[in-house]
Structure 1
Amino acid sequence: MAGTLVLEAIVVLLALPVVATVGGGLTPASMVYIVGLAVLMILGAGLQGRSWALWYNVTLQVLAVAAFFIHPALGACGLLFAAVWAYIFYLRRDLKDRIEQGLLPGQRD
Protein backbone atom coordinates (compact mmCIF):
# COMPACT_ATOMS: atom_id res chain seq x y z
CA MET A 1 0.00 0.00 0.00
CA ALA A 2 2.91 2.32 0.73
CA GLY A 3 4.25 1.78 -2.77
CA THR A 4 0.88 2.58 -4.28
CA LEU A 5 0.73 5.84 -2.35
CA VAL A 6 4.21 6.84 -3.53
CA LEU A 7 3.32 6.04 -7.15
CA GLU A 8 0.10 7.98 -6.85
CA ALA A 9 1.97 10.96 -5.38
CA ILE A 10 4.33 10.93 -8.36
CA VAL A 11 1.40 10.87 -10.79
CA VAL A 12 -0.31 13.72 -8.92
CA LEU A 13 2.86 15.82 -9.06
CA LEU A 14 3.26 15.04 -12.77
CA ALA A 15 -0.18 16.57 -13.26
CA LEU A 16 1.18 20.02 -12.31
CA PRO A 17 2.47 20.85 -15.82
CA VAL A 18 -0.74 19.54 -17.38
CA VAL A 19 -2.91 21.72 -15.18
CA ALA A 20 -0.59 24.68 -15.76
CA THR A 21 -0.75 24.51 -19.56
CA VAL A 22 -4.20 23.07 -20.33
CA GLY A 23 -7.47 24.67 -19.34
CA GLY A 24 -7.62 27.53 -16.87
CA GLY A 25 -4.02 27.29 -15.77
CA LEU A 26 -2.49 26.77 -12.38
CA THR A 27 -3.92 28.96 -9.62
CA PRO A 28 -2.43 29.26 -6.14
CA ALA A 29 -5.34 27.24 -4.73
CA SER A 30 -4.96 24.43 -7.26
CA MET A 31 -1.20 24.33 -6.71
CA VAL A 32 -1.65 24.06 -2.93
CA TYR A 33 -4.25 21.31 -3.41
CA ILE A 34 -2.09 19.26 -5.78
CA VAL A 35 1.17 19.61 -3.86
CA GLY A 36 -0.61 19.15 -0.51
CA LEU A 37 -2.30 15.97 -1.74
CA ALA A 38 1.04 14.59 -2.96
CA VAL A 39 2.73 15.42 0.36
CA LEU A 40 -0.08 13.73 2.30
CA MET A 41 0.33 10.65 0.10
CA ILE A 42 4.08 10.51 0.69
CA LEU A 43 3.56 10.95 4.44
CA GLY A 44 0.86 8.28 4.34
CA ALA A 45 3.33 5.82 2.86
CA GLY A 46 5.19 5.89 6.15
CA LEU A 47 2.04 5.42 8.21
CA GLN A 48 0.88 2.10 6.78
CA GLY A 49 1.64 0.21 9.99
CA ARG A 50 -0.96 2.16 11.95
CA SER A 51 -4.41 0.76 12.69
CA TRP A 52 -6.14 3.71 11.03
CA ALA A 53 -4.02 3.63 7.84
CA LEU A 54 -6.79 2.09 5.72
CA TRP A 55 -9.14 4.97 6.49
CA TYR A 56 -6.34 7.43 5.76
CA ASN A 57 -5.83 5.78 2.36
CA VAL A 58 -9.55 5.93 1.58
CA THR A 59 -9.68 9.61 2.57
CA LEU A 60 -6.74 10.39 0.30
CA GLN A 61 -8.46 8.57 -2.54
CA VAL A 62 -11.65 10.57 -2.06
CA LEU A 63 -9.55 13.75 -2.21
CA ALA A 64 -7.86 12.48 -5.38
CA VAL A 65 -11.19 11.82 -7.09
CA ALA A 66 -12.48 15.21 -5.88
CA ALA A 67 -9.64 16.80 -7.86
CA PHE A 68 -12.04 16.82 -10.83
CA PHE A 69 -12.87 20.39 -9.74
CA ILE A 70 -9.25 21.38 -10.46
CA HIS A 71 -8.82 19.53 -13.75
CA PRO A 72 -10.63 16.55 -15.32
CA ALA A 73 -7.31 14.79 -16.04
CA LEU A 74 -6.39 14.88 -12.38
CA GLY A 75 -9.79 13.50 -11.42
CA ALA A 76 -9.41 10.75 -14.02
CA CYS A 77 -6.11 9.76 -12.43
CA GLY A 78 -7.94 9.66 -9.11
CA LEU A 79 -10.52 7.30 -10.59
CA LEU A 80 -7.82 5.09 -12.06
CA PHE A 81 -6.09 4.80 -8.70
CA ALA A 82 -9.46 4.24 -7.02
CA ALA A 83 -9.74 1.09 -9.13
CA VAL A 84 -6.23 0.08 -8.05
CA TRP A 85 -7.16 0.61 -4.38
CA ALA A 86 -10.36 -1.39 -4.82
CA TYR A 87 -8.29 -4.27 -6.17
CA ILE A 88 -5.81 -3.97 -3.27
CA PHE A 89 -8.67 -4.12 -0.76
CA TYR A 90 -10.11 -7.15 -2.59
CA LEU A 91 -6.75 -8.94 -2.42
CA ARG A 92 -6.36 -8.01 1.25
CA ARG A 93 -9.78 -9.45 2.11
CA ASP A 94 -9.13 -12.60 0.08
CA LEU A 95 -5.79 -13.15 1.85
CA LYS A 96 -7.41 -12.70 5.27
CA ASP A 97 -10.12 -15.21 4.34
CA ARG A 98 -7.54 -17.75 3.20
CA ILE A 99 -5.55 -17.30 6.41
CA GLU A 100 -8.68 -17.87 8.51
CA GLN A 101 -9.53 -21.01 6.53
CA GLY A 102 -5.96 -22.33 6.70
CA LEU A 103 -5.62 -22.51 2.92
CA LEU A 104 -2.20 -20.92 2.52
CA PRO A 105 0.61 -23.29 1.50
CA GLY A 106 2.53 -22.66 4.74
CA GLN A 107 -0.52 -23.59 6.81
CA ARG A 108 -1.04 -27.03 5.30
CA ASP A 109 0.09 -30.16 7.10
Structure 2
Amino acid sequence: MSDEPTSDTPTDDAPAPAQDPWKGFRGVQAGTLVLEAIVVGLALPVVAQLGDGLTSVQGWVVGGIAVAHVVCSGLLRFAWSTWVILALQAALLAFVVTLPWVAVIGVLFLAVWLWLLWLRRDVARRMAQGRLPGQHPTNPAS
Protein backbone atom coordinates (compact mmCIF):
# COMPACT_ATOMS: atom_id res chain seq x y z
CA MET A 1 0.00 0.00 0.00
CA SER A 2 1.11 3.52 -0.62
CA ASP A 3 1.88 5.84 2.26
CA GLU A 4 0.09 8.60 0.37
CA PRO A 5 -3.67 8.85 0.76
CA THR A 6 -5.41 8.26 -2.52
CA SER A 7 -8.51 9.94 -3.81
CA ASP A 8 -10.39 6.69 -3.01
CA THR A 9 -9.44 6.79 0.67
CA PRO A 10 -11.97 8.69 2.78
CA THR A 11 -10.21 10.97 5.25
CA ASP A 12 -12.33 12.53 7.99
CA ASP A 13 -15.30 14.28 6.41
CA ALA A 14 -13.36 16.18 3.76
CA PRO A 15 -14.72 15.87 0.24
CA ALA A 16 -12.51 14.13 -2.30
CA PRO A 17 -10.71 16.53 -4.62
CA ALA A 18 -12.02 16.79 -8.17
CA GLN A 19 -8.56 15.99 -9.51
CA ASP A 20 -6.06 13.61 -7.95
CA PRO A 21 -3.32 15.82 -6.42
CA TRP A 22 -0.97 12.85 -6.16
CA LYS A 23 -0.92 12.41 -9.93
CA GLY A 24 0.44 15.93 -10.37
CA PHE A 25 2.87 15.46 -7.50
CA ARG A 26 4.22 12.26 -9.04
CA GLY A 27 4.76 14.27 -12.22
CA VAL A 28 6.85 16.78 -10.30
CA GLN A 29 8.82 13.93 -8.76
CA ALA A 30 9.37 12.29 -12.16
CA GLY A 31 10.56 15.57 -13.63
CA THR A 32 12.96 16.05 -10.73
CA LEU A 33 14.34 12.54 -11.18
CA VAL A 34 14.90 13.08 -14.91
CA LEU A 35 16.56 16.43 -14.22
CA GLU A 36 18.79 14.80 -11.63
CA ALA A 37 19.65 12.01 -14.09
CA ILE A 38 20.74 14.64 -16.62
CA VAL A 39 22.89 16.43 -14.05
CA VAL A 40 24.48 13.16 -12.89
CA GLY A 41 25.04 12.21 -16.53
CA LEU A 42 26.77 15.53 -17.09
CA ALA A 43 29.12 14.59 -14.25
CA LEU A 44 30.49 11.71 -16.34
CA PRO A 45 32.96 13.95 -18.26
CA VAL A 46 34.19 15.19 -14.88
CA VAL A 47 34.71 11.59 -13.78
CA ALA A 48 36.57 10.93 -17.04
CA GLN A 49 38.91 13.91 -16.55
CA LEU A 50 39.37 14.12 -12.80
CA GLY A 51 38.41 10.65 -11.62
CA ASP A 52 39.71 7.25 -12.68
CA GLY A 53 38.01 7.40 -16.09
CA LEU A 54 34.71 6.23 -17.49
CA THR A 55 35.77 2.60 -17.72
CA SER A 56 36.60 2.48 -14.01
CA VAL A 57 34.28 1.43 -11.21
CA GLN A 58 33.63 5.12 -10.52
CA GLY A 59 32.48 5.74 -14.08
CA TRP A 60 30.22 2.69 -14.15
CA VAL A 61 28.67 3.51 -10.78
CA VAL A 62 27.95 7.15 -11.68
CA GLY A 63 26.48 6.03 -15.03
CA GLY A 64 24.42 3.36 -13.26
CA ILE A 65 23.07 5.92 -10.80
CA ALA A 66 22.01 8.16 -13.70
CA VAL A 67 20.18 5.26 -15.35
CA ALA A 68 18.60 4.28 -12.01
CA HIS A 69 17.15 7.80 -11.72
CA VAL A 70 15.42 7.44 -15.08
CA VAL A 71 14.12 3.96 -14.19
CA CYS A 72 12.87 5.19 -10.82
CA SER A 73 10.90 7.97 -12.51
CA GLY A 74 8.64 5.27 -13.96
CA LEU A 75 8.14 3.54 -10.60
CA LEU A 76 6.79 6.44 -8.57
CA ARG A 77 3.35 4.88 -8.15
CA PHE A 78 4.83 2.44 -5.63
CA ALA A 79 5.27 3.46 -2.00
CA TRP A 80 8.79 2.07 -1.80
CA SER A 81 10.02 4.39 -4.56
CA THR A 82 10.62 7.13 -1.98
CA TRP A 83 13.13 4.90 -0.23
CA VAL A 84 14.83 4.10 -3.55
CA ILE A 85 15.14 7.83 -4.27
CA LEU A 86 16.70 8.44 -0.87
CA ALA A 87 19.06 5.49 -1.43
CA LEU A 88 20.15 7.04 -4.73
CA GLN A 89 20.91 10.28 -2.88
CA ALA A 90 22.92 8.31 -0.32
CA ALA A 91 24.83 6.63 -3.17
CA LEU A 92 25.75 10.05 -4.56
CA LEU A 93 26.81 11.20 -1.10
CA ALA A 94 29.04 8.13 -0.77
CA PHE A 95 31.35 9.67 -3.38
CA VAL A 96 32.39 12.37 -0.88
CA VAL A 97 35.87 10.86 -0.50
CA THR A 98 36.68 9.82 -4.07
CA LEU A 99 34.66 12.31 -6.17
CA PRO A 100 33.58 15.26 -4.01
CA TRP A 101 32.05 17.12 -6.99
CA VAL A 102 29.60 14.23 -7.48
CA ALA A 103 28.78 14.33 -3.76
CA VAL A 104 27.92 18.02 -4.15
CA ILE A 105 25.25 17.00 -6.67
CA GLY A 106 23.94 14.56 -4.06
CA VAL A 107 23.79 17.27 -1.39
CA LEU A 108 21.93 19.70 -3.66
CA PHE A 109 19.37 17.17 -4.80
CA LEU A 110 18.98 15.75 -1.29
CA ALA A 111 17.85 19.22 -0.25
CA VAL A 112 15.38 19.26 -3.16
CA TRP A 113 14.00 15.83 -2.20
CA LEU A 114 13.63 16.75 1.47
CA TRP A 115 11.65 19.82 0.38
CA LEU A 116 9.47 17.65 -1.90
CA LEU A 117 8.82 15.22 0.96
CA TRP A 118 7.78 18.14 3.15
CA LEU A 119 5.44 19.33 0.38
CA ARG A 120 3.93 15.84 0.11
CA ARG A 121 3.21 15.85 3.84
CA ASP A 122 1.65 19.31 3.55
CA VAL A 123 -0.60 18.26 0.65
CA ALA A 124 -1.72 15.16 2.57
CA ARG A 125 -2.56 17.28 5.60
CA ARG A 126 -4.47 19.84 3.54
CA MET A 127 -6.38 17.11 1.72
CA ALA A 128 -7.38 15.54 5.04
CA GLN A 129 -8.61 18.94 6.25
CA GLY A 130 -10.49 19.61 3.01
CA ARG A 131 -8.44 22.71 2.20
CA LEU A 132 -7.24 21.82 -1.30
CA PRO A 133 -8.65 24.06 -4.06
CA GLY A 134 -10.09 21.03 -5.88
CA GLN A 135 -12.14 20.10 -2.82
CA HIS A 136 -14.18 23.32 -2.80
CA PRO A 137 -17.31 23.55 -4.91
CA THR A 138 -17.08 26.26 -7.51
CA ASN A 139 -19.23 29.27 -6.87
CA PRO A 140 -20.95 30.40 -10.12
CA ALA A 141 -21.88 33.76 -8.53
CA SER A 142 -18.24 34.89 -8.33
Shared fold (TM-score greater than 0.5)? yes
Runs of 4+ in 1 over 4 A off after TM superposition: none
Q: Is residue 2:98 matched to residue 1:70?
A: yes
Q: Is residue 2:117 matched to residue 1:86?
A: no
Deviation at 1:39, TM superposition (A): 1.0
Alignment-mate amino acid for residue 65 of structure 2: L
Deviation at 1:70, TM superposition (A): 3.3
Structure 1 residues 12 and 70: alpha-carbon distance in aligned structure 2, compared to 1, 3 A threshold: farther
TM-score, reference length from structure 1: 0.90
Q: Percent identity?
A: 44
Alpha-carbon distance in structure 2 between the residues aligned to 1:21 and 1:28? 12
Q: Deviations over 1:7-33 (max 9, x none)?
A: 1111111011112223x4425110111
Q: Deviations over 1:21-79 (max 9, x none)?
A: 23x44251101111111111111011011121111111111112112233111000100
Higher relative contact order (Cα pairs below 8 Å, separated by 6+ residues): 2
Alpha-carbon distance in structure 1 between the residues aligned to 2:61 and 2:46? 14
Higher helix share: 1
TM-score, reference length from structure 2: 0.71
The number of residue pairs the alignment matches comes to: 108
Instruction: Answer yes or no: is the 8 Å Cα contact 2:33–2:69 preserved in 1.
Output: yes
Counterpart among 17, 22, 33 of residue 5 in structure 1: 33
Equivalent in the alignment of 1:105: 133
- Within a 5 Å distance, the mapping from 1:33-44 to structure 2 comes to 33-44=61-72
